[in-house]
A = this chain, B = another copy of it.
Amino acid sequence: VTTSRGVDTLVEQALAGDQRAIARLITLVEDNGAEARAVVAALYPRTGRAHIIGVTGAPGTGKSTLVNALAKAYRRADRTVSIVAIDPTSPFTGGAILGDRIRMQELAGDRGVFIRSMASRGSLGGLAWATGDAVKILDAVGYGMVLIETVGAGQAEVEIASTAHTTLVVTAPGLGDEVQAMKAGILEIADVLIVNKADREGADSTAAALEAMLDLDSRRGSWRPPVLRTIATQEVGIDAVIEQAEKHFRHIQASGQLRAHEQQRAKDELSNVLRQGLMRELLARIGQDGYDALVDQVATRQLDPYAAAERLLRDPPFKTAGYPK
């Protein structure tokens, strides 16, 4: 357990650029204990400076290679970069660590780059939550660019991507039907569309298909996502991606969308934190035994979950010993 004093020290070290301290802070928000709140409280006022870029796409599109190429290009332009890779391996295994190691070989020793993989522990929403807090930390300690890499398939990933100001959706030629179908969905969150592996057969038709889908999309506002081609393994086309991402950021700044985005994020975060806090308080008042008895009644189908909840919510302050029939 890290004490509150420990958190203060870590925050100080992290602000001075100590990467080990930054990593520790992210672990604290992953653990989601009392320290997580102290970390966010200390760093939240310093957030709001980074350009947060989501990079999403189906397996096999070459997302990770593209993210690495972007990071290198940003470094050449003397910007600081952090990468949060949402590990698709599973909510269970230690794939995250392996991913970190492979990437680190390439970008090791550069203090202007920070790389972190995150895998989920525990319940739905936990990963999105921890990722949001990790991004706050990286923003607050001064990384100019924060890249969040996700697999585009799941709802959780889409929610994680919603943290980003700018979302790059990566595709590649010849990935098969089901993957193409997925693409149709994530098209709607794309600010920049990338056809990676553009030297492969089918790149032209993939790009044309994307343009055709954009033509059909009537919900589009003032920004039409450009369709760019890259060969990430050869670092081809990377500068255009960087240029368009920056252009998009300036666009949402000017249009007021950035402000609306921040407002929505604040709303979502507050309601998440509140839900958790309310539940904790309710449990403290009922006591574990009373709650367990009610769970039993739901499990044995004497009560449905909604009726059980209504019973708890109707009768605060829940002072009865045992439970009302």
Contacts and interface: CB of A to CB of B under 8 A. Distances in A.
A41 B298 CA distance: 11
A202 interface: no
A184 interface: yes
21 contacts: A45-B304, A47-B301, A88-B178, A88-B185, A90-B188, A91-B155, A93-B188, A95-B185, A124-B159, A127-B155, A151-B153, A154-B156, A155-B156, A156-B156, A266-B305, A267-B295, A270-B295, A273-B308, A275-B279, A278-B279, A281-B313
Interface string A40-61: 1100110110000000001110
Interface residues of A, number: 76
Centre residue among A259, A266, A276 by max chain B CB count within 10 A: A266
How many chain copies does the complex carry? 2
A179 B306 contact: no
A73 interface: no
Interface string A263-279: 10111011111111111
Nearest to A261: B299
B91 A158 contact: yes
B155 A93 contact: no
Interface in A116-171: 120, 123-128, 151, 153-159
A310 interface: yes
